[in-house]
Amino acid sequence: MATTDYSKLTDAQLEQTRVALMSELERRRNLARIPTDIRALAEQYEAAGGDPAELAVELGGQ
């Protein structure tokens, strides 16, 4: 992997790079967190009397 010499970038380029990095980190965090969130919500839904089959349909399952 090539390294970037950040000292040669303008302030605008640095800001653009920072935003891109933060966006990628957030995307990765979401990918790691969302399945756990969905499981917890499904448990709450079922505990409240919801039909798990309805959730499967909404999530594209059968």
- Tell whether 31 is covered by a domain: yes
Tens of pLDDT, residues 6-46: 999 999 999 999 999 999 999 999 999 999 999 999 999 99
Cα 21–Cα 24–Cα 27 angle in degrees, nearest 5: 150
* pLDDT value for 62: 62
- Tell whether 19 is covered by a domain: yes
- Tell whether 37 is covered by a domain: yes
- Tell whether 1 is covered by a domain: no
- Tell whether 6 is covered by a domain: no
* pLDDT value for 7: 96
- Tell whether 21 is covered by a domain: yes
Nearest to 44 by CA among 30, 36, 31: 36
d(CA 42, CA 24): 27
Dihedral sign of CA atoms 44, 50, 56, 57 in order: negative
- Tell whether 40 is covered by a domain: yes
Question: Whole-prediction pTM value?
Answer: 0.73
Element counts in the chain: helices (H) and strands (E): 2, 0
* pLDDT value for 27: 98
Q: How many domains are contained in the chain?
A: 1
φ, ψ for residue 59, nearest 5 deg: -90, 5
Domain that holds residue 48: 12-58
